[in-house]
Structure formats: structure tokens, C-alpha cells
Copies of this chain bind each other. A is one copy, B any other.
Amino acid sequence: MKTKKEVDDFIQHGHKTHLPQICIDCAIFGYHNQQLKVLLAKWKGLDGYSLPGGFVGRMEPLSSAANRILKERTALDNVFLQQFYTFGDSQFRSQKHKYSLLPKDNWLSERTLSIGYYALVNFSRVTVEEDILTEQYVWEDIKKIPRLLFDHNEMLESALRHIKINLHHQPIGINLLENKFTLPEIQSLYETILGKKLDRRNFPKKLMSLGLIKDTRTVRSIGQHRSPKLYSFDKRKYNQYIKEGIVLTF
């Protein structure tokens, strides 16, 4: 939404074009150089941050809605969003919201279930654009998350739990690492998300034995006596594993 008129129309008439009482919220994790951050939105008129989110069109497939919302709200495009959980238990989700800015009995003040999606992007490569509803977007370190609005702290923790579990079952790394990377670089990616150190010998061995990464037979020159080998993903295997799943332990 770009103009105040569009926002006012949405508040007044959005329930005619969107499903009421169900929304989508997105936990967008950003990785770069051993840092894991999450994208938070500061709404105009609300004192605090939340995950970016929005509503589903009446006849719009759920996954299309998730991608559209993310693109509209943040200008992030072509992001691989994964649904992880639907929230409807907390007090915030079982009662009517109380937004002081909304007209009385507005559809947006009703109880709303939230379908959670997450994604992992390289935050150094994306530009996030504020829209008319949003005062500001920030990439916040996941170790320094403030108290968020509604039940969004709980949602964020759940997203992190799911992403950690899915590290065991889906490859990650394309779009997060350079095309050619060193073994310490891919290991740092996993270690940063898991929040723990992994074995320097076993971890690369497991990725190799799955056929997920391959030796490019090139090296990076760092100094006179340091030239670590460079690896790349086997894209055919990578895509196959995204579809079929893997079991990877570390």
C-alpha cells in the first residue's frame, strides 16, 4: 500500500477482499559473516516492533499470499518462504485486539489466527523498503531481540526452533554464501544458526558424503602461506534434496 487512501480503504473495506480473522506473519532471518539477524517492523502509531505480516486474499492461495505480503511490505522478492506453524493459543490471539487507532468494531480488531512463515536471506544483499504503514525496518541481532508486540516473541522463538530442526533435513546456503566458499565459511553458517560449534572434521565430511558440496579445484589466496580450497554446491543434488529431504546429523 502506497497511499493513505489505500490504507483507509483497506481498514474500511478490506474484509470484503480478504479472509477475516486470519493473517500471515513472516520471520525473515538474515545471515552475513557469522551474524544472524531478524527483520523487524516498527508500525506507525504502535509503540514497538513486530514481524512483518498481512492478510490473505479471499481467493488467493496461501503460499502466494505469503510471498505477496513479504514483497509488498519489504520489497523482498524471490525469497524461499517456508510455513512453520499456525498460532492461535496465546491470549493475544484468543481475544480481540485493542488497537486504539482503529474505528470501533472494525474487522481488524477481531481475534486473528496467524500463519507463520520463515525465510533465510543474505541481509547484505537486500534492500528493505518502508511502506506507508511502516515507520522503519531494522535487522536486529537474534541475541538482542526486544520485547515485541502481540505474541511475536513466541512466534520468533518457534521459527528459530523450526529452522534449526530443518537444518537436519534440507540443504541451505545458496544465496547465503558466495558461489565458491571455504569449508570454514559453510561451517560458520551452520554454527551461527544452531548457536553451537560443530566438529571441524566430521561436518565437512558429511556434506561431502551427501554429494551436496564439491571441490572446485581452485583456492582463495589470502596470504603468502594461506590459500584455502574453494567448494561449491552441486546444484542438481541441492535441488533434489530440497524436494526429497535429507537426514544430516552434526
A residues near B, CB below 8 A? 19-22, 56, 58-65, 83, 85-89, 93-95, 111, 113, 115, 161, 165, 168-169, 245, 247, 249
Contact = CB atoms under 8 A, between A and B. Distances in A.
A61 B94 contact: yes
A22 B245 CA distance: 29
Contacts of A113: 19, 22, 56, 62
A88 B19 CA distance: 11
Contacts of A63: 88-89
A113 B20 CA distance: 12
A88 B111 contact: no
A244 to B, nearest CB: 10
A59 B95 contact: yes
Do most interface residues of chain A lie in helix, strand or loop, or is the interface mixed?
mixed
A93 B65 CA distance: 13
A166 B208 CA distance: 25
Contact of A59 (B19, B62, B111, B247): B111
A109 to B, nearest CB: 13
Given A62-B88, A249-B249, 4 more contacts: A59-B94, A61-B93, A83-B85, A247-B249
A164 B2 CA distance: 45
Q: Which residue among A88, A93, A113, A247 has the maximum number of chain B CB atoms within 10 Å of its CB? A: A88
Contact of A21 (B22, B64, B94, B115): B22
A249 B61 CA distance: 35
A52 to B, nearest CB: 18
Given A20-B20, A20-B21, A21-B20, A111 B165 contact: no
Given A22-B21, A22-B22, A86-B86, A247 B62 contact: no
A86 B19 CA distance: 15
Contact of A165 (B58, B94, B169, B249): B169
14 contacts: A19-B111, A20-B21, A22-B22, A56-B113, A59-B111, A60-B94, A62-B89, A62-B93, A63-B88, A63-B89, A83-B85, A86-B86, A168-B168, A249-B249
A60 B168 CA distance: 34
Contacts of A111: 19, 58-59
